[in-house]
Amino acid sequence: MVWREAPPLKLFVHAGAWLPLAWLLWAYTTDQLTANPIQTATQYAGRFAITLLVLSLACTPLHTLFRWRTVLSVRRALGLYAFMYAVGHLYLLVGLDYGFALDALWADFSNKLYIYAGMTVLLILLLLTTTSFQWWMRRLGKNWKRLHRLVYAANVLAVIHYAWAQKGDIFSLRGNILAPLLYGGLVALLLVLRLPRVRKVAGGAGDLLRRRMAARRGAEDRQS
Residue ranges that bind ligand HEM, judged by CB under 6 A: 39, 42-43, 46-47, 49-50, 53, 82, 86, 89-90, 93, 115, 118-119, 121-122, 158, 161-162, 165-166
**How would you classify residue 101: left for phi > 0, otherwise alpha for psi between -120 and 50, otherwise beta?**
beta
Whether residue 179 contacts residue 187, with contact meaning beta carbons closer than 8 Å, is answered with no
Q: Round to whole Å and give the CA distance between 39 and 33.
A: 10
Of residues 47 and 76, the one with the C-beta less far from ligand HEM? 47
CB of residue 48 to ligand HEM, shortest distance in Å? 8
Strand partners, 174: 169
Whether residue 203 contacts residue 64, with contact meaning beta carbons closer than 8 Å, is answered with yes
Of residues 121 and 193, the one with the C-beta less far from ligand HEM? 121
CB of residue 12 to ligand HEM, shortest distance in Å? 21
CB of residue 222 to ligand HEM, shortest distance in Å? 51
Of residues 75 and 162, the one with the C-beta less far from ligand HEM? 162
Q: Round to whole Å and give the CA distance between 164 and 181.
A: 11
CB of residue 53 to ligand HEM, shortest distance in Å? 5
Q: Round to whole Å and give the CA distance between 19 and 169.
A: 32
Of residues 64 and 79, the one with the C-beta less far from ligand HEM? 79
